[in-house]
Amino acid sequence: MYRSGARSSLNIVLLAALETSAAQDADFIAVSGRLSLPAGSTGTSFAVRVVGDMIDEADQTVLLTLTTSTPADAQVINSPAILTIQDNDEAGLNLSPDAAPLIEGETATYQVSLNSEPIAPVIITLSADSQIMVVPSTLVFTPSTWAVSQTVLITALDDNVVELPVVSTVAHTLTSDDPVYKAWPSDTFQVSIRDNDVAVLSIDDVILPEATAAAT
Ligand SMILES: [Ca+2]
Ligand SMILES: [Ca+2]
Ligand SMILES: [Ca+2]
Ligand SMILES: [Ca+2]
């Protein structure tokens, strides 16, 4: 904006226009009021408060509109201006720890939580191969419990088969109506399993008669 008169007084009105993706009060605090632009000044400022959240979302925009109370005294240009609210949240699955070494028969636990607030419940289905038992098989995180860690118990199954060390995985498959978590790829917990079985070889006692010399 610029001033052309000896003294101007501008009304400032903040609008959330149709193309705006931000929501008043949830994403920003609307502001309106009167700014004075005294003679000799080249500019002034006003503050817009942006509301922080924990939701991973696209950047959002708000249109800032200036109007003058005395149109003949000043001309407003570049209105509306676009305020872009940059998102600073990142969705993700937290596995802590994300791997464990186990000997057959041993158990371990790890913690699971989400890294950002979902807008719908997130259901995580856990699945493992035949070397591991995992409990529970399902975890549910809601918009109010997403940050509260849940515990998973894993057991390396104890068989009687002599095996080489193997790396098994617990897969975490997400389903949700939340657009970010809905498309989230499966994360895995890795388990390095060592065998506890020993190969046993035995040889039986044997009785053999002396070899008989052939008569001549
Ligand atoms: Ca945030
Ligand atoms: Ca956010
Ligand atoms: Ca075993
Ligand atoms: Ca075994």
Measure 50 CA to ligand 1 centroid, in angstroms: 10
Considering every ligand atom shown, identify the ligand nearest to the alpha carbon of residue 195 and give its number.
4
Measured distance CA(123)–CA(205) in Å, rounded? 62
Ligand showing the shortest atom-to-Cα distance for residue 193? 4
CA angle 65, 68, 72 (to 5 degrees): 140
Q: Which of 178, 180, 168 is nearest to 126 (CA)?
A: 168
- In 3D space, the residue among 118, 114, 136, 137 whose CA is nearest the CA of residue 182 turns out to be 118
CB under 5 Å of ion ligand 1: residues: 52, 88-89
Domains of the chain (ranges, CATH numbers): 2-85 (2.60.40.2030), 93-194 (2.60.40.10)
Residue 181 Cα to ligand 1 middle (Å): 16
Residue 6 confidence (pLDDT): 45
Supply the pLDDT for residue 25.
80
Report pLDDT for 2.
46
What pLDDT, on the 0 to 100 scale, is given for residue 9? 53
Positions of the chain with pLDDT under 70: 1-20, 69-74, 212-216
| pLDDT of 20 | 66
CA 131 / ligand 2 centre spacing (Å): 40
Ligand showing the shortest atom-to-Cα distance for residue 196: 3
What pLDDT is attached to residue 11?
55
pLDDT digits (tens, 9 = 90+) for 75-87: 778 888 888 999 9
d(CA 77, CA 79) in angstroms, rounded, equals: 5
Record the pTM.
0.77
| pLDDT value of position 4 | 47
Q: Any idea which ligand is nearest the CA of 119?
A: 2
